[in-house]
Copies of this chain bind each other. A is one copy, B any other.
């Protein structure tokens, strides 16, 4: 996590100076039986690491109705009930393919590292109490990212309506950290007196409301709907990852998709305009200040992912895997050719 945060910091500086580049995600969609087939791609080049990367998701998606809204659910339809998500890493020096890796672990690592950077620039330096809302897959790297940038934190509370998940989460991470994880019974209890609140849920409705938003608090989110519009209005500073908006959508005419947001299915009736917010590269390059006093309420919204993030985190992962001798070696020439393409 520490290496990913450092490498992402350099990459965002390169992005600010125009040296690193990224292509906005595109989603190409057709019907597949009763479901939808989606081919989702994004590209990025991290010159500091000497790598370019393409991230590909090949998804079977259904849209079950949950309450009054539709939720986007990926189906593990590949053999063995598995998902298909890949990152291909290439050398910017020779063009050759360096690695192919599944994207699941990398995806969660880049979300955690990016949220951690938001926290580092926006939360109080002397923060000691933090809260994680959510206890699923994404909550893990919100936690490790947080502790990478605020190692002095000694009290960590976790809230999730799923009691079994919370228990498993606290047992798993409590065993790995010197800090104790304390499961609490409500968002109110979790937020009360916390310096930092990090939302890491799969909710399509707001989980964090103004009544929880105390003076001096920093609130992070892994996707826009988690923090209510009125919370964002209450904040002294709202920063966003890059404010790119939605992915580019290319879809078949005969597609039955209940929601066209191109993402997890949320509907934001009173959407906040993130396009004019300070971005993470702005914060890192010093174009805009982060927190300037102990009383500010701050928010960081980790919106649409970037190909550049995948180039960085996959590049770091490749270095570590090579050092550790992990991975299966395939002949490079299987993936190169003599024909001029």
Whether B43 pairs with A28 at a CB distance below 8 angstroms is: yes
A97 CA / B307 CA spacing, docked (Å)? 20
Known contacts A23-B26, A28-B43; is-contact A328 B332 (Cβ 8 Å):
no
Contact digits for A242-260, partner B, Cβ 8 Å, 1 yes 0 no: 0000001011111000000
Cβ of A158 < 8 Å from any Cβ of B? no
Complex Cα–Cα for A216 and B75 (A): 55
Q: In the complex, which range does the number of interface residues on chain A fall in?
A: 35 or more
A126 in contact (CB, < 8 A): no
Q: Which of A316-341 contact B (CB under 8 A)?
A: 328, 330, 332-341
Contacts A45-B28, A52-B58, A107-B341 given; does A86 touch B97 at CB 8 Å: yes
Contact B78 A336 (CB under 8 A): yes
Beyond A82-B338, A336-B82, A336-B83, is A28–B44 a contact (Cβ under 8 Å)? yes
In the complex, A74 has a CB within 8 A of chain B: yes
Known A54-B54, A83-B337, A337-B104: A19·B23 in contact at CB below 8 Å: no
Which A54-85 residues sit within 8 Å CB-CB of chain B?
54, 56-60, 74, 76-85
Shortest Cβ gap from A123 to chain B (Å): 28
Which residues from chain B contact A307 at a C-beta distance below 8 Å?
28
**Is B252 in contact with A336, judged by CB distance below 8 angstroms?**
no
A212-254: CB near B (< 8 Å → 1, else 0) gives: 0000000000000000000000000000000000001011111
Known pairs A37-B45, A39-B52, A86-B97; A79 contacts B339 (CB<8 A): no
Copies of this chain present in the complex amount to 2
With most chain B CB atoms within 10 A of its CB, the pick from A19, A21, A59 is: A21
Known: A23-B28, A107-B341. A335 touches B45 (CB 8 A): no
Assess whether B19 is in contact with A253, with CB atoms less than 8 Å apart: yes
Q: Find the B residue at minimum CB distance from A97.
A: B84
A182 CB-CB contact with B under 8 Å: no
A341 in contact with B21 (CB, 8 Å): no
Q: Is A102 an interface residue (CB 8 A)?
A: yes
Within 4-26 of A, Cβ neighbours of B (below 8 Å) are at 17-23, 26
A-B contact pairs, 24 of them (CB 8 A): A18-B253, A19-B252, A19-B254, A21-B251, A22-B28, A23-B41, A37-B52, A37-B95, A41-B41, A58-B90, A59-B95, A74-B340, A79-B332, A82-B337, A83-B95, A84-B336, A85-B341, A86-B88, A86-B97, A102-B339, A104-B339, A104-B340, A105-B339, A137-B339
Given contacts A84-B90, A84-B341, 20 further A-B contacts (CB under 8 A): A18-B252, A19-B252, A22-B28, A30-B92, A32-B92, A33-B93, A37-B93, A37-B95, A39-B54, A54-B56, A60-B95, A77-B94, A79-B96, A79-B336, A80-B336, A82-B96, A88-B88, A103-B337, A105-B339, A137-B339
Across the A-B interface, the 4 shortest Cβ-Cβ residue pairs: A104-B339, A18-B253, A85-B341, A78-B96
